[in-house]
Amino acid sequence: MTSADGVEMASADLGAQQTVIPAPDVPPISIDVAKKFHTKLKFLNRIKRVIVAGFRVGFVVRDSVTASVAAGYQFGGTHTSGASSKTAVELAGVDAATLQNITDQLYADFIADLEAAGRVVVPMEDVRASEGFAKLATTPTPYTKESKFLQDRILSVYTPEGIPLWWEHGNQIGDKGPFATGNWKAAGSMSVDLAAIVVAPTFLISFAELESSGNKRGMFAGYGSGKASTGASPKICLLKNETKMLAIHFKLKIAGDIGSVALKDQIVVGEFGAEIITLDERDNNNATRAGLLGLAQATGSQGLFAAAGKSRGTQTLAVQTNPSYFTAYSLAALRGVNDAYIWAFNKYPAK
């Protein structure tokens, strides 16, 4: 079910059952930036002025994981069945207002931390008045990114009030293709107009850790096991690839430097006061076996694998949580990423 605000929910009834209780006091997680992040931002030492031109917080509100084992030959004259499994999980008990509140709090922390690091944050009204800002191709918020290829995932992206959403070219969750360089050039123009470094931090967070036995292929797939399994547990996770802070500094409007601080691997933060509710569960086992003689008469691998059936299992789960708990634990994880981004500014202090 999708709310009027565009947030994917497992069930309106599940969300309505929640009673708001005081949020626990959860400190920011500590991340070893040198080990967990790629950092290429030496030019941060050139100038104190910083433009926070973008600030994106993406929340996974639905996710899924699959596993499969191809049919294979088992020694002794039998043919094992194939198997597949899928687990889908949805976030329940959290609305769009909660996600917006998390985004606003995180942004306020980021600005305060930048100033504490000795940087001068350019006021947003000055940024909006610049020539470069007028060239930005913005995207409406909240922005929803839905994927059906290999993984069924829905991501809802929020920005703080007054900060536009825009994507640089090639961003995996954005709406700009690899050759749509207009926003990169617009950010560079802002950098020149206001004599500042332009940054656009992105945060990606999920509410569940997914588990899979993997996808096995080949003549002896699974060594005759014919088993595939998937599952999910309610844990806050920070996602890799697009959890990064983009930074741009141009001396001329046509060229300059670009770098980032990017998370290398997923970080599982831990449980956050939630429970798993099963919404749907199905098993369909029609596996068959074929003797070695019958298989020997087939030609090629297509004939070999055609003799077996497949065991299928699917389940849909809801992670039911309270907004105050989700807020507290999400902010603890996201503030850890915030600290990692600020670490880069402290590593390369302005001269």
pTM of the model as a whole = 0.83
Phi first, then psi: give them for residue 307, nearest 5 degrees. Answer: -80, -15
pLDDT the model gives residue 231: 87
Geometric angle at alpha carbon 195, from 194 and 201, rounded to 5°: 80
pLDDT the model gives residue 226: 61
- Tell the residue number behind the tokens 């985004």, with chain if given: 103
Dihedral sign computed on CA atoms, order 122, 124, 125, 130: positive
Q: Look up residue 283 and give its two tokens.
A: 């098993």
pLDDT along the chain (351 residues), means of 10: 42 44 82 93 95 97 87 55 84 95 98 97 97 95 84 93 93 86 92 96 96 68 62 93 93 83 95 90 54 36 38 86 94 96 94 78
C-alpha Rg value of the chain to the nearest Å: 24
Q: For 110-122, how does the pLDDT look when each residue is reduced to its tens digit (9 = 90+)?
A: 999 999 999 999 9
Tell me the DSSP string of 279-315: EEEEEEE------HHHHHTS-HHHHHHHT--EEEEEE
Q: Is 31 exposed, middle or buried (0-12, 13-18, 19+ CB in 10 A)?
A: buried
What per-residue string of b and e applies to 97-123 under the rule 16 or more CB within 10 Å gives b?
ebbbebbbbbbebbbebbeebebebbe
End-to-end Cα distance, the chain: 52
pLDDT the model gives residue 241: 81
Geometric angle at alpha carbon 234, from 230 and 235, rounded to 5°: 105
SS3 content of the chain, % helix, strand, coil (to 5): 30, 35, 35
Sequence spans of domains, the chain? 37-346
Task: Give 21's contacts (C-beta < 8 A, 6+ positions apart).
Answer: 322, 324, 325
Q: Measured between alpha carbons, how far is residue 98 from residues 165, 318, 326 in Å?
A: 18, 18, 9
Which SS3 state, helix, strand or coil, does residue 219 take? coil
